[in-house]
């Protein structure tokens, strides 16, 4: 399964909204809005991703952004 769609499938049951999108450099940007415990759970999963993923680095920062109503992968 693709990384972006797998991220959506992890985020939605946690009540997290946001997005997972490919960036021009080949990395994936994840915007995640939710309660701290849910965000920690998603962050832990992002460190390894789905079974065939090759995660080399996860960077985390807080941003001022309005939270979308759902989570989209695309």
Q: Does the residue 70 lie in any domain?
A: no
What pLDDT is stored for residue 60 in this prediction? Answer: 87
Number of domains in the chain: 1
Residues catalogued as catalytic: 4, 22
Residue 25 lies in a domain: yes
Tens digit of each residue's pLDDT (9 = 90 or more) over 20-49: 999 999 899 999 999 999 999 999 999 998
Full domain range(s) for residue 8? 3-60
Is residue 73 in a domain? no
CATH number at residue 35: 3.30.70.100
User: Which comes out higher in pLDDT, residue 43 or 63?
Assistant: 43
Neighbour-count burial for 11-28, b at 16+ CB within 10 Å, e otherwise:
beebebbbbbeeeeeeeb
pTM of the complete model: 0.87
């Amino acid at each position: 399964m693709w990384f972006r769609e797998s991220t959506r499938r992890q985020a939605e049951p946690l009540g997290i909204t946001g997005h997972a999108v490919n960036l021009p450099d080949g990395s994936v940007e994840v915007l995640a809005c939710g309660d701290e415990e849910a965000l920690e759970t998603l962050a832990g999963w992002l460190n390894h991703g789905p079974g065939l993923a090759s995660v080399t680095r996860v960077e985390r920062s807080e941003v001022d952004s309005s939270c979308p109503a759902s989570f989209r992968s695309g």
